[in-house]
Structures are given as C-alpha cells and as structure tokens.
C-alpha cells in the first residue's frame, strides 16, 4: 500500500459565477504519484476540525505553493497592500494542521507558500514585498509569463549550509553548495524565523530559502522554491521528493492501529 500523502488545497473562484472551489495544482498530484510514490489525498481548506481528523490517517503532508498570501493577522504584520491575494479558508486550515503534524511527527514537505505557512504556524513572521526592501532582490516572476520554462526556470543561486539536513539529503549528488540554482515565484519571505525553524539555505540577499525544524520527530523540510516544476530533469529536486516518500513509507510502516488511535486522540 502506498503511503497517503495529504496535499493542501486553496479555495479559488471557478467558472463564470466565481463559485469557490478547493484546488491544488496538478504538479503536486503528479509528484506524489511519481517520485514520492504515495497516494495523493487533496485536503479541502475546510477548517481545523476536518483537517485534524484527516491528519490522523495521513503518512505525509505536502504544503503547496500558491499565489495567495498568509493573512498578516497570523503574525501581527501590517495589512497587505490592496489587491494582494489572501485565502483565509486555507490559512485557518493549514496553520493548525502544520502544528498538529509537527507534534505528531508526520513527515512534512512545505513549498513556497507552504514554507511561509510553516514559519507562521510555528511563530515566525513574513516580509510582504521583498522586492521593495532596501538591498533585497526581486524574487517574483510575473504571473502573466506564459512560457512555463521561463516562468519556472532557475532564477538565482542559493547557498546551502554545510552539514545541514539539506546538505545530507543531497549527499552523493554533484552540485556546488555555494550556488545551487533555484526557480523563484514569490513576493513574500521569512522575516523573523520561528523559534524552531532552522534555516539551511539562503539567497544572495539573505532571504531564507530552506529550513528544517529543530528536534522534529520526523522528516520536516521547507523550501521557498518549487522543486515540483523540474524533478524530471533536476536530480536535486527529485531527491527532495524521494526522501519525503521514504519518510512517509517509514512512517506508515511504524504506524500500528494503536498508533493511529494515539494520533487521532492527539488531534482532538
């Protein structure tokens, strides 16, 4: 049996009437069916109660990227500039879900918005428009860029800390830890790192690009870039999903029926 991997959804308007739909990009479904080797389960942004109950049945949690932004009330930040997309249904689902997953040791991989959520869920804060900040780079990619290879192509290097979890995960691969090229599709980024967030990679302007969680009971990695766009041609991206899948399989094997019961009680 493949491990069950929960994929966080957004709520997005759909069709001529703008009907709210729960949605996650097909890239995440395909990466779970592909290198992760799991069974994807789309987690509706239906609030804490639903997601906690679902969590007790999951073997891994994939927190997806999205154009929307974590509402600043969750980190005591200033209001967003007008027109900045938010998704409070997603926030109210994922933030408690992340805390519950970390507490239960459910393997967790957080990508872009998901990485920002991870930081906020654990008590950190976000910068809202990095490109407007003195001495910082523009990490955004125009959303109207229709050429996929350009929109998701490598945009800047990141430096990976020696001995970090990420460096260990990539051991044996041929790469330069001082300059790993990554894509970049975000405006926001980690400002104050949460107490348990352990930064492991940085952009040239100091933006935190990857982090693990201190004393995590299981695999827990967040990346500000999008490995799901190029795992078919990029070994470093692929390795992230391979390891996440291994962690989920181990978690599933360790989980006895009693453990499943313990997790569901912990989720209450």
> Catalytic site residues?
112, 226, 228
Q: Which of 2, 57, 67, 198 binds ligand LF53FM6H (CB under 6 A)?
A: 67
Taking CB under 6 A as the rule, which mask of x and - marks residues 88-127 in contact with ligand LF53FM6H? ------------------------xx--------------
Chain centroid to CA 130: 19
Identify residues 170-199 at the interface with ligand LF53FM6H (CB under 6 A): 185-188
Say if residue 5 is exposed, middle or buried (CB neighbours under 10 Å; 0-12, 13-18, 19+). Answer: buried
Q: Is 69 in the site for ligand LF53FM6H (CB under 6 A)?
A: yes
Nearer to ligand LF53FM6H, 56 or 183 (CB): 183
Going through 164-237 in order, the beta strands assigned E by DSSP cover: 180-182, 189-190, 197-202, 208-213, 220-223
Angstrom distances, CA of residue 159 to CA of 30, 56, 204, 233: 28, 36, 8, 21
C-alpha span between 176 and 95 (Å, rounded) = 34
Question: How far apart are CB 67 and ligand LF53FM6H at their closest, in Å?
Answer: 5
Residue with smaller CB distance to ligand LF53FM6H, 141 or 264: 141
Q: How far is the CB of 20 from ligand LF53FM6H (least distance, A)?
A: 18
Question: Of 66 and 164, which has the nearer Cβ to ligand LF53FM6H?
Answer: 66
- How many residues belong to the site for ligand LF53FM6H (CB under 6 A)? 11
Task: Report 188-247 residues binding ligand LF53FM6H (CB under 6 A).
Answer: 188
> Residue 104 and residue 113: Cα distance in Å, rounded?
22
Nearer to ligand LF53FM6H, 28 or 244 (CB): 28
Nearer to ligand LF53FM6H, 51 or 188 (CB): 188
Cβ of residue 37: shortest distance to ligand LF53FM6H, in angstroms? 24
Rounded to a whole number of angstroms, the distance between the first and last alpha carbons of the chain is 27
Both tokens of 133, joined, read 């900040």
Which residues neighbour 145 within 8 Å (Cβ) at sequence distance 6 or greater?
A: 151
Task: Tell me if residue 13 falls in helix, strand or coil.
Answer: strand
Applying CB under 6 A, which residues contact ligand LF53FM6H?
65-69, 112-113, 185-188
């Amino acid at each position: 049996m493949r491990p069950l991997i929960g994929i966080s959804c957004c709520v997005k308007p759909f069709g001529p009437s703008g009907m709210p739909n729960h949605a996650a990009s097909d890239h995440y479904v395909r990466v779970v069916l592909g290198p992760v080797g799991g069974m994807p389960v789309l987690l509706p942004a239906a609030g804490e109660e639903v997601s906690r109950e679902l969590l007790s049945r999951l073997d891994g949690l994939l927190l997806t990227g999205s154009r929307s932004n974590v509402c600043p009330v969750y980190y005591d930040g200033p209001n967003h500039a007008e027109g900045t997309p938010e998704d409070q249904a997603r926030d109210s689902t994922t933030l408690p879900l992340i805390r519950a997953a970390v507490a239960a040791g459910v393997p967790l991989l957080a990508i872009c918005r998901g990485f920002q959520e991870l930081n906020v869920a654990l008590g950190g804060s976000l910068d809202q428009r990095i490109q407007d900040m003195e001495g910082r780079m523009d990490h955004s990619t125009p959303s109207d860029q229709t050429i996929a290879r350009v929109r998701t192509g490598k945009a800047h290097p990141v430096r990976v800390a020696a001995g970090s979890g990420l460096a260990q995960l990539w051991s044996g691969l041929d790469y330069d830890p001082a300059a790993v090229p990554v894509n970049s599709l975000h405006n926001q980024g980690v400002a104050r790192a949460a107490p348990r967030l352990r930064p492991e990679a940085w952009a040239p302007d100091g933006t935190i690009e990857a982090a693990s969680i201190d004393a995590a009971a299981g695999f827990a990695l967040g990346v500000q870039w999008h490995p799901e766009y190029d795992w078919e041609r990029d070994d470093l991206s692929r390795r992230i999903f391979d390891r996440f899948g291994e962690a989920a399989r181990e978690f599933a094997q360790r989980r006895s029926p009693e453990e499943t019961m313990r997790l569901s009680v912990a989720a209450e």
